[in-house]
Amino acid sequence: MPQDQYHTVKEVAERLKVAEATVRHRIKGGSSVRSTSARAGASTIAIWDKVQAVNVKGVFLGTKHAIRHLRADGKGVIINLSSIAGLIGVGGIAPYHASKGAVRLMSKNDAITYAPEKIRVNSIQPAYIWTPMVENHLRATAPDLEAAKAAAGAAHPNGTIGEPDDIAWAVVWLASDEAKFVTGAEVVIDGGYTA
């Protein structure tokens, strides 16, 4: 996996000749892991390690391998996807909370570390976004998917689940020169969930 991630970043940098934005979160393929049976007292080391390996180590390796390309370009942007679970407690998902809190603080640390090199680092904290991961989670935990989707939407003050475009437009902005003074920020996209 680390070699694949390095080669992916390298190929993108070579194809584009500029590595200005790196977003680590493949919606397909489960690159973010949320376990359904992850209460601290009932979890296992295997679950803990799996969640940390994907959600934390993945961000570390992505940054590690992107930095050399961003340095070569003389500037760049790294955008990490955390979660509202990195900001507040929801309950019952201890490994996921720990991993997303780590992503949030790694982003802040890297923002300070790489700012002198004109490399900006920010994180996005979404609530429920209708992705295959959320759909699979709801299918695994509820007998009626549509009812579960409606209930998840109702947890947000605006009454809906977010869409991938809600995140994509924030990424576009953060990666653009319009956000040139934004680094170390947490962009919360949650329909008011954490308000």
Tell me which residues are annotated as active site: 96
Closest CA to 98 of 110, 109, 82, 112: 82
| Tokens found for residue 106 | 């790694």
| Tokens found for residue 137 | 């989670």
Q: What DSSP string runs through 125-160?
A: EE--B-SHHHHHHHHHH-S-HHHHHHHHHHTSTTSS
Strand partners, 124: 81, 187
Q: What DSSP string runs through 47-104?
A: HHHHHHIIIIIHHHHHHHHHHHHHHHHT-EEEEEE--GGGTS--SSBHHHHHHHHHHH
Query: Which 8-state DSSP code applies to residue 116?
Result: G
Closest CA to 131 of 161, 87, 104, 155: 161
Question: What strands, in cross-sheet order, belong to the sheet with 21-24?
Answer: 21-24, 76-81, 119-126, 186-189
